[in-house]
Structure 1
Amino acid sequence: MEKANNETQTTAENNAFTLDVHDNGVAILSMDVPGESMNTLKMEFAEQISAMLDEIESNNKIKGVVVISGKDSSFVAGADISMLASCETAQDVEAISTGGQQIFQRIENMQAHFVAAIHGPALGGGLELALACHSRICTDDKKTQMGLPEVQLGLLPGSGGTQRLPRLIGIQQAMKMMLTGSPVRAKQALKYGIVDDMVPRSILMDVAIELAQKPKPQPKPVKLNLMGQFLEKTPIGRNTMFKQARKQTLSKTKGNYPAPELIIDCIETGIDKGIQEGMSVEAKNFAYLVMTPESEQLRNIFFATTEMKKETGVTGVEPGQLKKVGILGGGLMGGGIAFVTATKAGLPARIKDIRSEGIANAMKYSFDLLNKKVKRRFIPKSEMQKQMSLLTGSIDYSGFGDADVVIEAVFEDLELKQSMVHDVETHCNENTIFASNTSSIPIGQIAEKAARPEQVIGLHYFSPVDKMPLAEVIAHDKTSDKTISTTVELARKQGKTPIVVKDGAGFYVNRILAPYMNEAANILLAGEPIEHIDRSLVKFGFPVGPVKLLDEVGIDVGTKIIPILMAQFGERFKSAEAFDKVLADDRKGKKNKRGFYAYSGKNPGKEVDESVYELLDIKPEQSLSGVEISERCVLLMLNEAAMCLDEGVIRSPRDGDIGAIFGIGFPPFLGGPFRYIDKLGAKYVVERLQHNSTKFGDKFLPAPKLVEMAEKGESFY
C-alpha cells in the first residue's frame, strides 16, 4: 500500500500520544510512554487522551483512527499499578476508575471508526482500551497476547472490562478469563472473537488503515451453542450459571480472596440491569478491592518480583556468558531442568545419564509437554521441533567441553556429587560452573574436594520444574561473585524467580517447611484426622495440606532432610515417629501408590487410606479446631523464617516472602511470612509462641530476633 501524505501531526513534549492525520481520512493515534520499555496507562494521561479526542472530533476529515503502540514489542501492558498506592480513600480510587470508564466510553461513542492494532501484550487497561475501539486486529506473533489479569493483584478490571468483554465474547468465556487472569494468544483471541482479524506483523498497519476507512461496524451477536444460549440468554439459565460460578469460586478461594466474587457481581449486574449500572458497580467494587489488605499484599508481591527482575546476583557484578548448559541425570528433575533450559532460556541442553533410557525419558518429558501445546494450538509444530533440537544427550561427557554451566540433578548422595564435581572439572573447560540441584546437602560439603570451589554453587529447583516459579541459588563461603551472578542470570532465563541464600542444612525453603510438616505429623499422632489437618491448612490459604504435600513429594524424599537439619540445628528438628513407621511399611506416597492417602478406587489420592491409622496405632478423633491446627504449624514456620533472616540465610524479608510464596505456596494474600508477622505484630507472635512452648516444648521458643522486635515495637517492613 502506498504511504499517504501526512497532513498534520500533533504531539507535545513528554506527551505519551501522537496524532498523525493522513490525507486518506485516517488518523494514527500512537502511544509511546517516554523513558519506559512498556506502555502503561497513568492518571496524568487522561488530559492528553482527552485533548487528542477533542482534536479528532473537531476534524471532520477524520473518518477512521488506528490506535497503535509506538513500542516495538508491546501494545499496552496495563494500568500503572503504583498510582493506586497514592489513593487515600476508596472515593479517590473510584474517581480513577470512573475517569477511565468515561474516556473509554467516549472512544466507543466517537463517530470515527476506531481500530486497535495490537502487537505484543494487551493486558488489563490495555485490553480495555482495545475493547472500547470498534474493531481490533492483532499480529500472529508469539508475543501477542490479551488478557485481564487484575484478579492476580486482588483487583478487577476497572475501566469497563467487566462489561465489554462478556458482550463481545459471551459471559462464560469472559468470566473464565477474568476469574483466572490468564491471557490468551492471538489464535485464541481470534477464535473467541476478541479480535476481528489476525495478520503478520509486516502488514498490521496497512490492514488496520484499510479497515479504518470503512464505516463503523455494528456489534455482532455472540455465537453460542444451544446450552450456551440457555445459560446466557434466559433468566433461569443465567441464574443457574452465576450461582454455579459463585459456588466453584468459593470452593477454590475458601473465602480468602474477595476479588473473584465481586467480578461475578459486576458481570451479573451489567447483564441484568444494563451497562450503566454495571459500570457503576464495577467502579465501586474496584475501589473497595484496592483498599483490601489482600490486594495490598498481592500488589506488594508484584512490585517485589518486578524489582527482583532488575537485580543481578551480586550488585555491580555482571554475569558470565551463557551459551550452553549441561545436565547430569535424566530423571524427573533433570528432564524438567532440560525442558526450561531449552524452551524458556532458548539454550542448548546436553543431558548425561548412565543409561540411554534415562536420556530418552528426559527427552520424552520435553516432547510430551511441547506436544500438548501443539495439540492445543498454543505453538506450531515447527516451534516444537526447533525447541526439541536444542536437546541432546550422551552416556559420557562428550559434548560437555563447551558447557558454561553443568547442573547436577542426581539422587542425594554426597560422595556421588563430589565425584561429579571432579568429573566436570576434568571434562569441561576451566570456566564451567558446577551447580548442584541438591535439596538438602550443604554446598560447602559438595565443594570440599573441588579444584575450583569458587565455581561450585547450589541451584535448587522445586518439583515440577516446569511449573514451580522459584529457584534457590546457594552460595557457599568460597563461591565467587561472578558464579553467583551467572547462576542467577541462568535461573532467570529459565523463567524462574531466583533468591540468593546462604549455604546450610535445608537452605531456606526446606528449612522453614520442615518444622511446619513435623508439627502436622505430631498433631496426627495425637489423634487428629488427616483430612481435618489438611483441610485446616487449605482453609488457612495453602494450596494443599501438609500430609497431602508429603504424599505428593514422596515420604522418603520429604523425610530425608530431617537428619541433616538435626545434625546442624539439634532437637528442634526432631521428626515425629510417624514418619519412620510409615516408611518401614514401604509407603512412599503417590509415586508408589502407598501413602497417607489411598490411590486406588474411584477417587485416587482424594481419600485417606484408613489403614494408616492402625499402622500408627491411632484412633482418629477431632478435638482441635482448624484455627488451633493452622496456628501451631504456621507459628513454627514464621519462627524459623525469622531465625533464617537473623542468621543471614536470606538477604532480606522480601526474599524470604517471595521464597515462601513461590517455593511452598505460603498464602499469597498474606504477603509471605515476614509481611504476615508484621500484620499480626511481633509482640502477638512472641506471645503465641511462648504460650505454645509451655504446652508443647522448647521447639516453640521464640527466635531472639522476634523477642527483640516485640520489645522495641519494630516491624520487618
Structure 2
Amino acid sequence: MTNENTTQQLAPSAFTLTKRDDGIAILSMDVPGETMNTLKVEFGEQVGDMLDQIQSDSAIKGVVVISGKDNSFVAGADISMLAGCKSAEEAEAIGKGGQAVFQRIEDMTVPFVAAIHGPALGGGLELALACHMRVCSDDNKTQLGLPEVQLGLLPGSGGTQRLPRLISVQQAMKMMLTGASVRAKQAQKYGIVDDMVPRSILLEVAIEMAKKPKPNRKPVKLDAMGQFLERTPVGRKLMFKQARKQTEAKTMGNYPSPERIIDCIETGLEKGKAQGFAVEAKHFGHLVMTPESAALRSLFFATTEMKKENGVEGVAPKTLKKIGVLGGGLMGGGIAFVTATKAKLPARIKDIRSDGIAHAMKYSYDILNKKVKRKFMLHSEMQSQLSRLTGSVDYVGFDNTDVVIEAVFEDLALKQNMVADVEEHCSEHTIFASNTSSIPIGQIAAKAKRPENVIGLHYFSPVDKMPLAEVIAHEATSDQTISTTVELAKKQGKTPIVVKDGAGFYVNRILAPYMNESAEILLAGEPIEQIDKALVKFGFPVGPIKLLDEVGIDVGTKIGPILVAEFGERFESAPGFDKLLADDRKGKKNKRGFYNYEGKKPGKEVDESVYDLLGITPNSRLSENTIAERCVLLMLNEAAICLDEGVVRNPRDGDIGAIFGIGFPPFLGGPFRYMDTLGIAHVVERLTHYQQQLGDKFVPAKRLLDMAESKDTFYPK
C-alpha cells in the first residue's frame, strides 16, 4: 500500500483530509466529544472548505468519505438544532443548506466513494447517496435508513430525490414511509450500496473504487409489474394514488409527514430533480414547525436522556452474569428471549413441567428461525443465541443467578411462595423481580426474609416487541436493587420507568378508567366498531374493545377488583361483563370474544351474538369525538393523580410509559404533553362538563384544578 504523505486539518473541524501519494484523498468525519457522528448546520462551511481544497488540487483523483468513529458512519443529523427554528422559512433554509452541500459533492469531477461501517441513517445516508459509489461492511452494526418520518419529518437534504432514482421507487418509498432501516445484505440487494465487504478491507476496497471513473448508472432492474408501475405515466399515477390511500388508512390523517414524503417523491419524478429539491425543502420547513413533529422529537430526546440514567442517581448497578426465569408460558418465554438475544446473558428457565420449558425454548427458536429464513441472521448466530437458554424443573443451576424474574399467573400466595423458594435456593444477593401486572409488590414481599431484594419488573405483551418495562420499588427495596433492575431492563432492549408501588402501578392504572368508560359506552348501546373506530381515529393502535380481546377478557376482569379495593368506586367497572366469562369468552386466545375469529377475516368483524349476551340493542348515538373525549379524559385525569401521588417521578416518565406501554398516540407526546397542548384550564372545563352529566368519576384531579388556577403547565413553557 502507498504511504500517507500530508494531513491537513482545520482546528475545530470534524473533518480531516488525508492525501495519499496514489491520488486518493481520505475525507474522514469525527465529531469531537461525541460517541457517534451527527451532522450539524455549522458543518456546511467545514465541508465546503474541504471541497475547495479537493477542487483546487489537481493531484487528487478520487475521494473516500469514511468515519473516524469505529461504531458509526453518520447516525443522522443533530435534530436539537431544529428547536431553535422560529419559522418554517428558517427550517427550510437548513434543508436547503444540506441540499447545497450534498449537491456539490455529487457535482464534483472526481469520484467520491462512501465507505460505510455502522449506522448510516438520515442525513448520514443522504451524505452517502450524494457520493458516486458506496461500499459497506458486512458487520451486524451496519444499517442504512431514512428514519425521519419517526420524528414527524422527511429526509430534507436530498434523500427523497436520490434514493428513488437509485433503487426501486416502491422500495425507496417504503423505507421513507416506515422509517425502517436495512442491513448490509439488503442494502446490496436493493442497490443502495455497490459492494459489501468485511470491515477489515472496507477502506482498501473503497480506495480501489475511488480510482475508477464515476459510474454511468443504469436504471435498477424491475419485474414486469414494477416496470409498469414505476416507468409508465399511468402506472406511476396508480402507484402514488395507492400509496396515498394506504398511508391515509394507516395514519388516519394524524401524521402529516408521510403524505409530504409521497409528494416530494412524485414531484421529483414527474417534474424533475430541481423541482423535487424545492418541494422537499419547503415541506421539511413546514413539518419542523408542526406540533406533531415537536411531540415526536420530544419523545426522541426523552428516550435518549433515559438511556443515560441509572435507576437511582449515584447508585451503580451490580454486574449481571446470569438471569433466572420462573414460568415457561408466553411471558416467561418472551423474557427469556430478550435476556438471551438482546442482553446476551444466560437465561435459566424453570417450570414445573418439562413441556413448559420446551414451550419457552420454542418461543425463541421460532423468532430466530424466521430471521434465518429471511436471511437477516446467520444460522450460526441463531445457535449462539439459543445456547444461552437452559431449563430445569427444579432450582438446579439457580444458585448463581443475579436476578430471578417471576412470570407465573396472578396469584398472591403463589408469588409469595416463589419469593421463599428463591431465598432458599439462590444467593443472598439474588434479586427477585416479579412480572405481576397488578398485585402490589409490597404484598408479594410481605413474608420475604430479604425484602430489599424484592422488586417489580412489569413487561408488556408480546415481550419481544413492546418497548416498555415498569420497575416497581416497594418501600423496603434497596437503591442498588432498583439500579440493577433498571440496568437489566435496558440491556434487554427496554425503556424502563421507575414507578411507585401500588395496585395497577402506573400503566394499568391509567388504562383502567379508559377501558371502563369504553365498556360503559358499549353497555349504553354504542356499537363496538363505532367505539373502536373513534379511538383508532384519535391515534391509538387499536380500540379499547379490541384491546380487551387481545389482552384477554379474563385478564382484564382480574385487574378491576384489585384497583377498586385500593382506590374505591372511581374504578368500578360496568356490571354485565361477568356474562362474557360465564359464556367462556376470553377473547382472541380462545377465539371467543367481542370479535369473530372464524371465517375469512378473523378478528376483523364484530361477533354480533355478543350484543344479545349483554342485553344490548346497538344504536349509534354519540359522535366519535365524544366517545374519544370521554375515554381519554379519564386517562389524562388519572395520570395527573398518579403524578401527584408520586407514582411516576415526572411528566416525562408518565408520557413515555403511556406511549410505550399502551400505545397512547406518539404524535400527541403523551398524556402530560397533550394536556399542556390542550391547556390545563380546558381539560378541567371538559372534566367538569362530564362530571355534571355522568357523575363523580370525572371529578378533576386536585393537581389540575391548582394548575388551571395558576396557569401552570407540566413542561416548562
Q: Same fold (TM over 0.5)?
A: yes
Answer yes or no: is the 8 Å Cα contact 1:521–1:578 preserved in 2.
Answer: no
Q: Name 2:408's counterpart in structure 1.
A: 410
**Counterpart-to-counterpart distance in 2, 1:504 and 1:453:** 16
Answer yes or no: is the 8 Å Cα contact 2:167–2:190 preserved in 1.
Answer: yes
Q: Name 1:470's counterpart in structure 2.
A: 468
**Counterpart-to-counterpart distance in 1, 2:257 and 2:108:** 32
Which of 38, 56, 59 is equivalent to 1:58? Answer: 56
**Counterpart-to-counterpart distance in 1, 2:500 and 2:557:** 22
Q: Name 2:585's counterpart in structure 1.
A: 587
The Cα of 1:220 is off from its aligned counterpart by: 2.4
Where do 5+ consecutive residues of structure 2 fail to align? none
Q: Name 1:343's counterpart in structure 2.
A: 341
- Provide Cα deviations, 1:199-226, integer angstroms capped at 9, x if missing partner: 0000001111111111111122111111
Amino acid corresponding to residue 16 of structure 2 in structure 1: T
1:708 and 2:706 equivalent? yes
The Cα of 1:558 is off from its aligned counterpart by: 1.1
**Counterpart-to-counterpart distance in 2, 1:469 and 1:677:** 24
Mapping for residues 519-530 of structure 1, pairs under 5 Å: 519-530=517-528
Q: Name 1:26's counterpart in structure 2.
A: 24
Where do 5+ consecutive residues of structure 1 fail to align? none
- Provide Cα deviations, 1:470-498, integer angstroms capped at 9, x if missing partner: 00000000000000000000000000000
Q: Name 2:489's counterpart in structure 1.
A: 491
**Counterpart-to-counterpart distance in 2, 1:671 and 1:205:** 42
Tell me the SS of whatever aligns to 1:604: coil
Q: Name 1:558's counterpart in structure 2.
A: 556
Answer yes or no: is the 8 Å Cα contact 2:577–2:614 preserved in 1.
Answer: no
Mapping for residues 514-663 of structure 1, pairs under 5 Å: 514-663=512-661
- Provide Cα deviations, 1:245-271, integer angstroms capped at 9, x if missing partner: 000000000000000000000000000
Amino acid corresponding to residue 613 of structure 2 in structure 1: L
Which of 103, 106, 110 is equivalent to 1:108? Answer: 106
Which of 695, 698, 712 is equivalent to 2:696? Answer: 698
Q: Name 1:438's counterpart in structure 2.
A: 436
Taking only the aligned residue pairs, the percentage that are identical comes to 76
Give the CA RMSD over aligned residues. 0.5
**Counterpart-to-counterpart distance in 2, 1:67 and 1:668:** 36
**Counterpart-to-counterpart distance in 1, 2:276 and 2:387:** 51
Tell me the SS of whatever aligns to 1:695: helix
Mapping for residues 264-413 of structure 1, pairs under 5 Å: 264-413=262-411
Answer yes or no: is the 8 Å Cα contact 1:144–1:185 preserved in 2.
Answer: yes
**Counterpart-to-counterpart distance in 2, 1:579 and 1:139:** 57
The Cα of 1:397 is off from its aligned counterpart by: 0.2
Tell me the SS of whatever aligns to 1:74: coil
Mapping for residues 202-241 of structure 1, pairs under 5 Å: 202-241=200-239
The Cα of 1:187 is off from its aligned counterpart by: 0.3
**Counterpart-to-counterpart distance in 1, 2:664 and 2:684:** 20
Tell me the SS of whatever aligns to 2:545: helix
Worse-superposed segment, 578-587 or 498-507:
578-587
**Counterpart-to-counterpart distance in 2, 1:270 and 1:686:** 48
The Cα of 1:579 is off from its aligned counterpart by: 1.8
The Cα of 1:658 is off from its aligned counterpart by: 0.3
- Provide Cα deviations, 1:577-626, integer angstroms capped at 9, x if missing partner: 13211111110000011001111111111100100000111110000000
Amino acid corresponding to residue 371 of structure 2 in structure 1: K
- Provide the aligned length of Structure 1 versus Structure 2: 715
Tell me the SS of whatever aligns to 2:47: helix
Amino acid corresponding to residue 454 of structure 1 in structure 2: E
**Counterpart-to-counterpart distance in 2, 1:126 and 1:684:** 42
**Counterpart-to-counterpart distance in 2, 1:376 and 1:458:** 36
Amino acid corresponding to residue 426 of structure 2 in structure 1: C
- Provide Cα deviations, 1:292-350, integer angstroms capped at 9, x if missing partner: 00000000000000000000000000001100000000000000000000000000000
Answer yes or no: is the 8 Å Cα contact 1:548–1:597 preserved in 2.
Answer: yes
Answer yes or no: is the 8 Å Cα contact 2:518–2:544 preserved in 1.
Answer: yes
**Counterpart-to-counterpart distance in 2, 1:193 and 1:683:** 54
- Provide Cα deviations, 1:447-485, integer angstroms capped at 9, x if missing partner: 000010000000000000000000000000000000000
Tell me the SS of whatever aligns to 2:114: strand
**Counterpart-to-counterpart distance in 1, 2:576 and 2:529:** 16
TM-score (norm 2): 0.99
Answer yes or no: is the 8 Å Cα contact 2:325–2:332 preserved in 1.
Answer: yes
The Cα of 1:12 is off from its aligned counterpart by: 2.1
Tell me the SS of whatever aligns to 1:33: coil
The Cα of 1:7 is off from its aligned counterpart by: 2.8
The Cα of 1:148 is off from its aligned counterpart by: 0.1
**Counterpart-to-counterpart distance in 2, 1:220 and 1:143:** 30
Mapping for residues 154-169 of structure 1, pairs under 5 Å: 154-169=152-167
